[in-house]
Amino acid sequence: MIGNEATPLSRPLAVKAAVVLAALTSLWGAFEYLGFESSYQRQYADPYQVGAQFSRFEAFQARVPENAVMGYLTDLAPGSVAAEAMFGSAQYVLAPRLLEKTPAGHDLVLGNFAKPGDFLTLGLPYGLRLEQDFGNGVVLFRKESR
C-alpha cells in the first residue's frame, strides 16, 4: 500500500454503511415529521372552516353561471383576518366564478355573512335587491333595475 490509499473492500463497505445510515436517518425524520404533523392537524384543524364552504356554497354554485363576475358584500370589518379568510375561501370554492371585493358596478353580488341579519336591508344602500337567501349566511343579490 502506498500513502493513504484504501483497500479495495474498505471503500465500498464505507459507502454502503453511509448509504444505510442516511436511509435510516431519513426514515427516522419522516416518522418524526408524521408524528408532528398529525398532532398539529388535530390541534389546529381548519380554523376558518374552508372545507365546510363547499357544502355551504353548493346551492349558490348551482344558481350562478360559471363565467359570472360578481360583487361581494359581507358584514365583517374590511381587512380583518376573518373577512379576508371568508373572501378567500369563497373565491376558492366558487371558482371559476370571479369575486370582486366591492358590490358596486355588478349585476350579481354574493352576500357572505358571518351572522344572521336583515340581508334585505344590508343590500339597499348599494341598490341591491335580495334575489335568494340560501341559508347559512349565503345570499344572492341582484342590482335593482331602474
- Sequence spans of domains, the chain: 8-45, 53-143
| Rg of the chain, C-alpha, whole Å | 28
> Given a cut of 90, is residue 10 above it in pLDDT?
no
Buried b / exposed e over 50-63, threshold 16 CB at 10 Å, is eeebeebbeebeee
How confident is the model at residue 101, as a pLDDT?
93
Band (pLDDT 50/70/90 cuts) for residue 36 is confident
| 3-state DSSP assignment of residue 130 | strand
Band (pLDDT 50/70/90 cuts) for residue 29 is very high
Say how far apart CA 39 and CA 76 lie, in whole Å: 31
What are the backbone angles phi and psi of residue 143, rounded to the nearest 5°?
-60, 130
For the full predicted model, state whether its pTM sits above 0.85.
no
Say how far apart CA 39 and CA 32 lie, in whole Å: 11
> Given a cut of 80, is residue 48 above it in pLDDT?
no
pLDDT in tens, 92-130: 999 999 999 999 889 999 999 999 888 989 999 999 999
Say how far apart CA 68 and CA 136 lie, in whole Å: 22
pLDDT in tens, 50-72: 777 888 999 999 999 999 999 99
